[in-house]
Amino acid sequence: MSLGVLKRKIKAEFWLVLLLLMTPSLAVASALCESTSQKLSSVVPCGFGVNIDFTEPRPGEMEMLTAAGFRWVRMDLKWDATEVEKGQYDFQSYDRLMSSLRSFGVRALLILDYGNPLYDNGAPPRSKESREAFARWAVASAKHFSGSGVLWEIYNEPNHELFWPHPYAKDYAMLAKTVGQAFREQVPGEKLIGPATSGVDFEFLETCFKEGVLEYWSAVSVHPYRREDPETAASDYRRLRALIYRYAPSREIPIIAGEWGYSATWPGLDQEKQGELLARSWLTNLASGLPLTIWYDWHDDGVNPREPEHHFGTVSHHYYTGRLKAYDPKPAYLAAKTMTQVLSGYTFVKRLQSGGPNDYVLEFQRGEERCLAAWTTRHPHRVVIDFAARDYQIVDYLGQELGRVKSRSTGIEIDLKVAPMYVCKQIRLATS
């Protein structure tokens, strides 16, 4: 797709996706995800979301977020912002957020994080007093939002100097176990996860597992950032799954990607490439059995072209006050919207053997219907796929119609590209 065509498509999406009412297909997806609201679901789009940094959405923001198929948000629940006097908790701003999320059928992954100047001068909770105070606050949070389907995550990137100065896995594990024991005794119905490591830090993770944190967790969360192709994460997941099994062989504990994205200003990347990588990372995670993937970030944090942190978003930094528009959608937004609409109600079945090891042809199923997501990590080329005989529709990762193809005795022939395409009997994308 040329840059001019891409810009025209994005401009058209300005009016097409920012709706005050959800489209019928997304309404169906919302009902589907709400029916599994107390558990993680592998049905598309129930396991996809974005990181946010607001407690009060702007006009049109939630409409736009849900129109892309995001069914989760991940947000800091900051200790120092909600306990400003010892033992006194104020969740009013988060009440407003949760009320908005409920009205749109979106679930929350809330991060129990950071220090509090009331304890240990705001340092990470290392002392017994600080850990117990943190646990009391965490339990108060869980009681306040009990039954809301929240996933409670213990801290954010505790292996990173920025978030936990002088990180030490055993310090973090002591905090995690203190919170876990308090949850088990006082809010046993609420779900805890962790440790939200920066990268897939196997040394840090194994130390935590040795200390017994898995006894209290419903999932293990990691942030699998990388400059390499997202498909390389699959081997990390296999290794991590084996590590989890070693320390908790009698339980099935899933892995979730609680934060993962690509900056559009990293070397070799631009907005279009970022959109391709969003689709590929989401598809890789589905094929790897991850029931939840959270993209970082919802919107760009700035406009400085030399600051990579400003350009992880699915939408622009600039906010519009118009009635229908909140932000400009980027290709990453369109990629999310296309995938969640095309594969709505589908679950991953298997990777088909077609072409070489760098070719990815993933089969999805919804009742009797089958659909493919296909791409390659190398040069574009043609492959033959053994797929049931019928006439198929093909769209690219941004929802652009690529035509139709009929299967023959040898299967269907398609031209793989590094950007994913979807091959289905019938594809309906929202146009209003």
pLDDT above 90 covers a percentage of the chain that reads 82
What phi, psi does 165 have (nearest 5°)?
Answer: -50, 135
3-state secondary structure of 259: strand
Verify that 284 and 387 share a domain, yes or no. no
* Separation of alpha carbons 418 and 396, rounded Å: 11
Summarize the confidence of residues 417-428 as an average pLDDT: 93
* Separation of alpha carbons 259 and 242, rounded Å: 21
Would you state the structure tokens that stand for residue 332, as one six-digit string?
């990453």
The pLDDT value given to residue 30: 58
Give, in order, the Cα–Cα distances in Å from 404 to each of 45, 122, 303, 419: 25, 60, 40, 18
CATH assignment of the domain containing 246:
3.20.20.80
Verify that 232 and 127 share a domain, yes or no. yes
Of 223-227, 360-364, 424-428, the range with the lowest mean pLDDT is 424-428
Verify that 120 and 145 share a domain, yes or no. yes
Long-range CB pairs of 82-90, under 8 A, 24+ apart, other chains included:
82/137, 82/141, 83/116, 83/118, 83/137, 84/118, 85/118, 86/118, 86/133, 87/136, 89/137, 89/140, 89/141, 89/144
Residue with tokens 């957020």: 97
Verify that 304 and 381 share a domain, yes or no. no
* Helices 331-342 and 271-287: angle between axes, nearest 10 degrees: 30
Which amino acid is located at 230 in the chain?
A: P
Find all residues with CB under 8 Å of 336, minimum gap 6, and list them: 48, 68, 69, 70, 278, 279, 282, 295, 314
Verify that 414 and 288 share a domain, yes or no. no
CA atoms lying within 13 Å on the CB side of residue 140: 17
CATH assignment of the domain containing 386:
2.60.40.1180
Verify that 300 and 156 share a domain, yes or no. yes
Provide the residue range defining the domain that includes 203. 3-346
Is residue 31 in a domain?
A: yes
- Closest by Cα among 286, 301, 227, 212 to 254: 286
How does DSSP assign 355-400, residue by residue? S-TTEEEEEEEETTEEEEEEEESSS-EEEEE---SSEEEEEETT--
Average pLDDT of the chain, as a whole number: 91
The pLDDT value given to residue 432: 43
Verify that 337 and 375 share a domain, yes or no. no
Of 190-194, 217-221, 352-356, the range with the lowest mean pLDDT is 352-356
> Which of 301, 320, 346 is where one domain is finished?
346
Of 389-393, 416-420, 422-426, the range with the lowest mean pLDDT is 389-393
Do 364 and 348 form a contact (C-beta atoms < 8 A)?
yes
- Closest by Cα among 342, 261, 294 to 72: 294
Is residue 336 in a domain?
A: yes
> Which of 346, 378, 399 is where one domain is finished?
346
Verify that 11 and 109 share a domain, yes or no. yes
Is residue 179 in a domain?
A: yes
Summarize the confidence of residues 321-328 as an average pLDDT: 74
Verify that 248 and 285 share a domain, yes or no. yes
Verify that 381 and 335 share a domain, yes or no. no
Is residue 153 in a domain?
A: yes
The pLDDT value given to residue 28: 54
Do 348 and 286 form a contact (C-beta atoms < 8 A)?
yes
Evaluated on CA atoms 240, 241, 244, 245, the torsion sign reads negative
Check whether 97 has a pLDDT greater than 50: yes
Is residue 382 in a domain?
A: yes
Instruction: Output 26 or 364, whichever has higher pLDDT.
Output: 364
> Which of 346, 369, 390 is where one domain is finished?
346
Verify that 336 and 207 share a domain, yes or no. yes
Do 348 and 287 form a contact (C-beta atoms < 8 A)?
yes
Verify that 328 and 354 share a domain, yes or no. no
pLDDT tens per residue, range 24-78: 455 555 566 764 456 798 999 999 999 999 999 999 999 999 999 999 999 999 9
Find all residues with CB under 8 Å of 61, minimum gap 6, and list them: 54, 326, 327
The pLDDT value given to residue 36: 47
Check whether 229 has a pLDDT greater than 90: yes
Do 315 and 64 form a contact (C-beta atoms < 8 A)?
yes
Q: Which residues of 348-372 are buried (b: 16+ CB within 10 A; e: fewer)?
A: beeebebbeeebbbbbbeeeeebbb
Is residue 431 in a domain?
A: no
The pLDDT value given to residue 223: 98
* Separation of alpha carbons 219 and 191, rounded Å: 9
Do 110 and 150 form a contact (C-beta atoms < 8 A)?
yes
Check whether 104 has a pLDDT greater than 80: yes
Is residue 48 in a domain?
A: yes
Residue with tokens 């219907």: 369
Is residue 429 in a domain?
A: no
* Separation of alpha carbons 166 and 204, rounded Å: 13
pLDDT tens per residue, range 123-173: 999 999 999 999 999 999 999 999 999 999 999 999 999 999 999 999 999
Reported residue count of the chain is 432
Q: Which residues of 193-212 are buried (b: 16+ CB within 10 A; e: fewer)?
A: bbbbbbebbeebbbbbbebe
Q: How many domains does the chain divide into?
A: 2
pLDDT tens per residue, range 246-291: 999 999 999 999 999 999 999 999 999 999 999 999 999 999 999 9
